[in-house]
Structure 1
Amino acid sequence: MKKIAPLFALILLLSCSTNTSIVNSWRDPETTISQNKFEKVLVVALVKDETTRRITENRIASGNKIFKVSYPYLNDKNLNLTKEQKIQILKNENFDGVVTMRLVSTEKETQYVPGTNTSLFYGGFGAAYGYGYGFGNWYGMYSPNFYNTGYYKESTIYLVETNIFSLKQNKLIWTGTTKSSYVTDIGETISEIIRTVVKEIQKDGSIEK
């Protein structure tokens, strides 16, 4: 059983592997996120669809108590306010940081998936070529040789930009673009983006690991 357990762990790891990766990033060389010590951060999803906006902001805000969704503060009621007036609203609410996320673009990507030939693993090929003289050989005598032809599959790539602003200094201190593919669940994709961004921020030294 102890030998089987690592195998299941590997399967779980592969099944949970992310489809999101970092494309590029930049941070203010004079400022780190650790130095700012944020206590209350506004999360802003810059999307036109209100449902997607709320899903995105709620997902991020659920990860840490210092994150607060933006729709109670930035909505149709204050849409016509100036940039300075909006910033003042946030300062009056004691926000010291802002995280924004926006969809930069979508792209189509075509990938070739090669075929597989499983005939080598079934039938009497011996231990040097297949599974040996166990169940694999016995099964091979009663089954045809299997071969799956290769094929092309198309997926949509989503490029998302994440920015981190310091309201105390009134400037951008970190920005990065991520690439996500095979998106089936918005909430899970947002979580993957956040995990990827945090990993990159730790890597470039903006925050401690």
Structure 2
Amino acid sequence: MKKLNLLVLFIASCVVISCTSTKITSSWRNQDNEIVIEKLNKVLVVAMFKDETSNRKAEDQMVSYLQGKGIPSYNYLNANFNKKNVEVIQDKIKKDGFDAAVTMRLIDVDKEKIYTPAQTSFYPDYYRNFSGYYYNRFNYNTNPRYYSTTKTYTVETNVYSIKSDKIIWSGLTESTNPNGAKKMTEEVAKVIFKQMVKEGFIK
């Protein structure tokens, strides 16, 4: 019985640790701008996470929502591209026919240690035999205390108009205990896209 309770505790703690939740915490839009995907030519998608693999996964996920109009930065901003010259970047993006750019950047990782105290649970009534199960000294079971760590990732997503060279939409999302970079970027892209549609920014 004790082993069973410990197993249940372990599974429960794993569920808590692996539970993933992405939500949008704030957003802003320029009321004078809206996007109709069908009318777009090209949208440059740029992700800035901790490593190249995460960047590519995030860009691919956002591109999938743009109905063939999205171009991931890893296919465009190659090694021969002068990334240190702002004017060169602006001119090239405009000349290449981009309407907009979407950036996704990891801006914070918050770690919180959660303490779960020991819990005592009583055995069911059918255990209380043999003189009150030996004078009731063994009629309860205690699960040990344990610690778990919750990680919350904050991602900033911006949309820029290439023509006016101004930001036209911005949002922050929080992902709690994401199950890997791929899962997190999928959820962030999905939540952001839904929010843009809900606000009427994307038609």
TM-score using structure 2 length: 0.70
C-alpha distance after superposition, 1:132-156 (max 9, x if no partner): xxxxxx9xx9xx8776456431122
The 5 A counterparts of 1:44-59 are 44-47=46-49, 49-59=51-61
Aligned pair partner of 2:26 in 24, 27, 30: 24
State the aligned residue count.
178
Assess, with a 3 A threshold, how the Cα gap between structure 1 residues 25 and 113 changes in structure 2: closer, same or farther. Answer: farther
Deviations, residues 125-180 of structure 1 (Å, cap 9, x unaligned): xxxxxxxxxxxxx9xx9xx8776456431122111100111112321111111111
When the two chains are superposed, the root-mean-square deviation of aligned CA atoms in Å is 3.3
Give unmatched runs, 5+ long, in structure 2.
Answer: 1-18, 130-138
- 1:35-184 mapped onto 2 (5 Å cutoff): 37-47=39-49, 49-64=51-66, 65-80=68-83, 82-112=85-115, 123=124, 148=143, 151-184=146-179
Q: Deviations over 1:92-146 (max 9, x none)?
A: 2221111101111111123355777776xx957xxxxxxxxxxxxx9xx9xx877
1:158 & 1:91 partners in 2: Cα distance?
Answer: 33
TM-score with structure 1 length normalisation?
A: 0.68
| 2:41 aligned partner, one-letter code | E
Q: Which has the higher strand share?
A: 2
Tell me which of the two structures has the higher relative contact order, counting C-alpha pairs closer than 8 angstroms and 6 or more residues apart: 2
Q: How big is the shift at 1:201?
A: 1.9
Gaps of 5+ in 1: 1-16, 125-137
Q: Which residue of 2 aligns with 1:198?
A: 193
User: Percent of counterpart pairs with the same letter?
Assistant: 35
